[in-house]
Amino acid sequence: MPLRTKLALVVILLCGLIATSTKLYAQDAAQPAPNVVVNSDGTVQIPSYAVPLSSFLSPDAKTYVTDHMREMQDPELVKQDQGVPRFMKRYLERDEALFALERKDVSLGGVHTYTYSPRAGISDKNKARVLINLHGGGFSGCWPGCAELESMPISALMKIKVVTVDYREGPDNKFPAASEDVASVYRELLKTYKPQDIGIYGCSAGGMLTAMSLAWFQTHGLPTPGAVGIYCASAGAFGGDATYIAFPFGEGRMPPAHPPAQSQLGYFGGTDMKDPLVSPMNSPEILAKFPPTLLITGTRDFAMSGTIHTDAELTKRGVKAELHVWDGLFHGFFYNADVPESQDAFNVMISFFDRNLGTK
Amino acid sequence: MPLRTKLALVVILLCGLIATSTKLYAQDAAQPAPNVVVNSDGTVQIPSYAVPLSSFLSPDAKTYVTDHMREMQDPELVKQDQGVPRFMKRYLERDEALFALERKDVSLGGVHTYTYSPRAGISDKNKARVLINLHGGGFSGCWPGCAELESMPISALMKIKVVTVDYREGPDNKFPAASEDVASVYRELLKTYKPQDIGIYGCSAGGMLTAMSLAWFQTHGLPTPGAVGIYCASAGAFGGDATYIAFPFGEGRMPPAHPPAQSQLGYFGGTDMKDPLVSPMNSPEILAKFPPTLLITGTRDFAMSGTIHTDAELTKRGVKAELHVWDGLFHGFFYNADVPESQDAFNVMISFFDRNLGTK
């Protein structure tokens, strides 16, 4: 869309709320817009409609989002081979080409990790610092696929050591196995690093586990780390508007009508989901002790609402929360390092940890 | 929705991107979800569907959003009486009951303003500070309705003087009349206040004018103020996903299919919309000189995409941008001071100016 058209749209939109809207709509009377029905409980029934890609996306991202929605419609492409969803394979190949890293298999506190270091060396100021990555994958997979995609760009671009944790997942393991594993790795790293020099971050299940780990540390005598990143995730429930935006806009399918019963949920089977160790959002006291927290999402991410709600609650509790949302992008969009928006997100992540680690 | 259900949904959503989604959908095979069609240009064709209120809203906000969507469907209620949209009248009455303020008609630099001071007195630390409010209303109305709703809660709750500017609007006046008026008021206030002690903020057209004013000051020999708030607005184009979310989800109607030509747009008629004085987003150099900037929006605000894109661009230019997004809430939601989410937004606004004014 040319800029003049876009800016014309601005003014229409600015006028949308006020009296002129009546006039604007009257001009379109020959083709009346189909009605949205507002029910008494506030549910809106929306007629079938077409939604284009976000006008704010880069050309590369436009191709990326189109491809992603089509891939999400193919059940074969979301299957995992050795912990790597098929549609993510090409992102992993690109990371291997782009980022010169040394990867070591390391056991830390008895837990398996991959430890990445940039071949060009760790920067002077980052020698005293380390990042722990907790990978996405619904607590039931995506090791090592998601772990590598979340760790490699950050280790290389920030010139820092990143330890990504092969924490225990469902359905074979149950809560709190993953929290225990994160605590074991953290305790081991505390022998070398000060807590204020350790950052923890993750996307999706890994973002949720980052929040859960903070609650776990608080209740198990461990110090709070210097800063954390909760990406494409919440410190509690997801839900909200994002369910109804992200699936049709970002995944090419309708939202699930009936979530299966909790007993089917693998890792959290038998768990009291109200427990603040699972959902720190349920405890204002625990939230208030969060360190500086970076929150990242996109408007087509099914975790958007949970992410922004976490920002709102942390802010209310006096925590230094920093939120950034990318328009038109979906859950875990930055797994593709070639897209300019992913590079912007990496820069935000790196700047955040650089500003917030080691400052206590 | 009970918490257990919400948290069950979390895990479903976490699993959505990965292999388990295939299985989850298979369980629902008896009632297959209607298909979303993804076109080759990335446009999605979404079947008719029902969207409930956000699960994150307070009970008061649920009623508020339901009422708002119904009111937006009534052309009579969006009409203005003496600059007050009819549906906003009750919010104004509540502000008058809630906030004890002294309002003065003051001409500053030849421009008409209302100047609010709390009857309980300006706080000691705010005696050297002042806020300028630039009201919403599409550059064509909503004085004094929007001006009062944006100024009264902040003046009373922050215990600070707020000057809200009756700037010239369209269609009788054209760009840059409003920017000139803001500059005249600002120049007058600079005789009493230091620039770092002056904050500027506004919602919708007023948020856009806040950004435009910064560009105007930079090119007309005026210093940069201490901090600004761009609410429900962008420093450039709106557009993006929000157009397709906010109208059906937040205004009870479909997005306009064909924006009218630019010549119909009143205040910007005949203006080159690429001009950075209209759209600062077009100039990285101007953006880089923005002071700390607070950005506020909601997921059902048609300005959401523009607001979050402004945050992303400011952040990229090294500006201290602070973004907060409320789930399930619409354009200018905080005009209703009774809703808990509005009170949270006021607290964020007050804390932001308190932290950022007078710190240079």
The C-alpha atoms of residue A357 and residue A223 are separated, in whole angstroms, by 14
B334: left (phi over 0), alpha (psi -120 to 50) or beta: alpha
Q: How confident is the model at residue B360 (pLDDT cuts 50, 70, 90)?
A: low
- Per-residue model confidence (pLDDT) at position A359: 73
Q: How confident is the model at residue A9 (pLDDT cuts 50, 70, 90)?
A: very low
- Per-residue model confidence (pLDDT) at position B256: 78
| Res. A321: pLDDT tops 90 | yes
Task: Flag whether residue B31 sits within 8 Å of chain A, measured between CB atoms.
Answer: yes
- Per-residue model confidence (pLDDT) at position B273: 84
Residues on chain B touching A253 (C-beta within 8 angstroms): 33, 35-36
Task: Flag whether residue A350 sits within 8 Å of chain B, measured between CB atoms.
Answer: no
pLDDT tens per residue, range B209-224: 999 999 999 999 999 9
Q: Can you tell me the mean pLDDT for A285-303?
A: 98
Task: Flag whether residue A29 sits within 8 Å of chain B, measured between CB atoms.
Answer: no
Indicate the residue of A78, A300, A302 with minimum beta-carbon distance to B241. Answer: A300
The C-alpha atoms of residue B298 and residue B323 are separated, in whole angstroms, by 11
- Per-residue model confidence (pLDDT) at position A273: 85
Residues on chain B touching A238 (C-beta within 8 angstroms): 6, 9-10, 13-14
Q: Is the peptide bond before B176 cis (omega within 30 degrees of 0)?
A: yes
| Res. B157: pLDDT tops 70 | yes
Q: Which of B14, B309, B310 to mutate to test the interface with A (most CBs of A within 10 A)?
A: B14
On average, the pLDDT of chain A sits at 90
pLDDT tens per residue, range A27-79: 344 445 668 999 999 999 999 999 999 999 999 999 999 999 999 999 999 99
Pick the more confident residue, B264 or B151.
B151
The C-alpha atoms of residue B73 and residue A23 are separated, in whole angstroms, by 14
Task: Flag whether residue A329 sits within 8 Å of chain B, measured between CB atoms.
Answer: no
pLDDT tens per residue, range B267-291: 998 898 889 999 999 999 999 999 9
By residue range, what is the domain housing residue B253? 59-356
Task: Flag whether residue B6 sits within 8 Å of chain A, measured between CB atoms.
Answer: yes
Q: Do B308 and A331 touch (CB under 8 A)?
A: no
- Per-residue model confidence (pLDDT) at position A270: 87
- Per-residue model confidence (pLDDT) at position A33: 60
Indicate the residue of B8, B311, B316 with minimum beta-carbon distance to A259. Answer: B8
Q: Which of A254-263, B8-17, B170-179, B244-253 has the lowest mean pLDDT?
A: B8-17
Q: Do A56 and B19 touch (CB under 8 A)?
A: no
Using alpha carbons only, how large is chain B's radius of gyration in Å?
22
Using alpha carbons only, how large is chain A's radius of gyration in Å?
22
Q: Can you tell me the mean pLDDT for B221-248?
A: 96
Q: For residue B179, which of B75, B39, B325, B279 has the smallest C-alpha distance?
A: B279
- On whether the CB atoms of residues A204 and B14 are closer than 8 A, the answer is yes
Return the DSSP state at A179: H
pLDDT tens per residue, range A163-191: 999 999 999 999 999 999 999 999 999 99
Q: Do B55 and A240 touch (CB under 8 A)?
A: yes
The C-alpha atoms of residue A237 and residue B248 are separated, in whole angstroms, by 24
Residues on chain B touching A325 (C-beta within 8 angstroms): 308, 311-312, 323, 325
Q: Which of B140, B241, B315 to mutate to test the interface with A (most CBs of A within 10 A)?
A: B241
Q: Do A274 and B3 touch (CB under 8 A)?
A: yes
Quick check: is A15 in a domain? Answer: no
DSSP H or E stretch at residue A5:
helix A3-15
- Per-residue model confidence (pLDDT) at position B258: 61
- On whether the CB atoms of residues A216 and B31 are closer than 8 A, the answer is no
Task: For B27, name the nearest residue in chain A, comparing CA atoms only.
Answer: A260
Q: Which residue type occupies A345?
A: A
Task: Flag whether residue A62 sits within 8 Å of chain B, measured between CB atoms.
Answer: yes
The C-alpha atoms of residue A141 and residue A130 are separated, in whole angstroms, by 24
Looking up tokens 């119909």 gives B264
| Res. B11: pLDDT tops 50 | no
Which residues, listed in sequence order, are joined to residue A81 by a DSSP beta bridge? Answer: A84
Residues on chain A touching B41 (C-beta within 8 angstroms): 52-53, 66
For chain B, positions 235-254, list CB contacts with chain A under 8 A.
Answer: 236-245, 247-249, 251-254
The C-alpha atoms of residue A328 and residue A333 are separated, in whole angstroms, by 10
Quick check: is A123 in a domain? Answer: yes
pLDDT tens per residue, range B186-214: 999 999 999 999 999 999 999 999 999 99
Q: Do A266 and B11 touch (CB under 8 A)?
A: yes
- Per-residue model confidence (pLDDT) at position A54: 97
* Residues ≥6 apart with Cβ < 8 Å to B221: none
Q: Do A252 and B6 touch (CB under 8 A)?
A: no
Quick check: is B105 in a domain? Answer: yes
- Per-residue model confidence (pLDDT) at position A8: 41
Q: Are strands B130-134 and B198-203 parallel, antiparallel or unpaired?
A: parallel
State both tokens at B31. Answer: 């009632």
Task: Flag whether residue A50 sits within 8 Å of chain B, measured between CB atoms.
Answer: yes
Quick check: is B29 in a domain? Answer: no
Task: For A333, name the nearest residue in chain B, comparing CA atoms only.
Answer: B17
For chain A, positions 96-135, list CB contacts with chain B under 8 A.
Answer: none
Whether the full predicted model's pTM is greater than 0.95, yes or no, is no
Q: Which of B44, B91, B348 to mutate to test the interface with A (most CBs of A within 10 A)?
A: B44
Q: What's the per-residue H, E or C state across B76-144?
A: HHHCEECCEEHHHHHHHHHHHHHCCEEEEEEEECCEEEEEEEECCCCCHHHCCCEEEEECCCCCCCCCC
Q: Do A254 and B47 touch (CB under 8 A)?
A: yes
Question: What CATH number has the domain bearing residue B180?
Answer: 3.40.50.1820
CB pairs under 8 A between A and B: 433
Task: Flag whether residue B89 sits within 8 Å of chain A, measured between CB atoms.
Answer: no
Q: Do B249 and A244 touch (CB under 8 A)?
A: yes
Q: Can you tell me the mean pLDDT for A22-30?
A: 37
- Per-residue model confidence (pLDDT) at position A69: 95
Residues on chain B touching A348 (C-beta within 8 angstroms): 315
Residues on chain A touching B10 (C-beta within 8 angstroms): 208, 234, 236-239, 273, 306
pLDDT tens per residue, range B86-107: 999 999 999 999 999 999 999 9
Q: How confident is the model at residue B359 (pLDDT cuts 50, 70, 90)?
A: confident
Quick check: is B86 in a domain? Answer: yes
Quick check: is A5 in a domain? Answer: no
- Per-residue model confidence (pLDDT) at position B347: 98
Quick check: is A27 in a domain? Answer: no
| Counted domains in chain B | 1
pLDDT tens per residue, range B103-145: 999 999 999 999 999 999 999 999 999 999 999 999 999 999 9
Q: Is the peptide bond before B260 cis (omega within 30 degrees of 0)?
A: no
Compute how many other C-beta atoms are within 10 angstroms of the C-beta atom of residue B246. Answer: 25
Task: Flag whether residue A263 sits within 8 Å of chain B, measured between CB atoms.
Answer: no
- Per-residue model confidence (pLDDT) at position B140: 93
On average, the pLDDT of chain B sits at 90
Q: Do B38 and A70 touch (CB under 8 A)?
A: yes
Q: Which of A45-49, B262-266, B270-274, B351-355 has the lowest mean pLDDT?
A: B262-266
| Res. B1: pLDDT tops 50 | no
Q: Which of A145-149, A178-182, A254-258, A356-360 has the lowest mean pLDDT?
A: A254-258
Q: How confident is the model at residue A256 (pLDDT cuts 50, 70, 90)?
A: confident
Task: Flag whether residue A85 sits within 8 Å of chain B, measured between CB atoms.
Answer: yes
- On whether the CB atoms of residues A126 and A116 are closer than 8 A, the answer is no
Q: What's the per-residue H, E or C state across chain B?
A: CCHHHHHHHHHHHHHCCCCHHHHHHHHCCCCCCCECEECCCCCEEECCEEECCCCCCCHHHHHHHHHHHHHHCCHHHHCEECCEEHHHHHHHHHHHHHCCEEEEEEEECCEEEEEEEECCCCCHHHCCCEEEEECCCCCCCCCCHHHHHHHHHHHHHHCCEEEEECCCCCCCCCCCHHHHHHHHHHHHHCCCCCHHHEEEEEECHHHHHHHHHHHHHHHCCCCCCCEEEEECCCCCCCCCCHHHHHHHHHCCECCCCCCCCHHHCHHHCCCCCCCCCCCHHHCHHHHHCCCCEEEEEEEECCCHHHHHHHHHHHHHCCCCEEEEEEEEEECCHHHCCCCHHHHHHHHHHHHHHHHHCCCC
Task: Flag whether residue B306 sits within 8 Å of chain A, measured between CB atoms.
Answer: yes
Tell me the nearest-neighbour CA distance from A285 into chain B, angstroms.
18
Residues on chain A touching B140 (C-beta within 8 angstroms): 15, 18, 20
Q: How confident is the model at residue A6 (pLDDT cuts 50, 70, 90)?
A: very low
Q: Do B260 and A24 touch (CB under 8 A)?
A: yes
| Res. A15: pLDDT tops 60 | no
| Res. B358: pLDDT tops 70 | yes
Return the DSSP state at A35: B
Task: Flag whether residue A14 sits within 8 Å of chain B, measured between CB atoms.
Answer: yes
State both tokens at A146. Answer: 């998601």
Give percent of chain A with pLDDT exceeding 70. Answer: 88
Q: Do A308 and B316 touch (CB under 8 A)?
A: no
Indicate the residue of B33, B249, B328 with minimum beta-carbon distance to A253. Answer: B33
Q: Which residue type occupies A313?
A: E
pLDDT tens per residue, range A261-285: 444 568 998 898 889 999 999 999 9
Tell me the nearest-neighbour CA distance from B234 into chain A, angstroms.
9
Tell me the nearest-neighbour CA distance from A113 into chain B, angstroms.
22
| Res. A4: pLDDT tops 50 | no
Q: Can you tell me the mean pLDDT for B348-359?
A: 95
Quick check: is B317 in a domain? Answer: yes
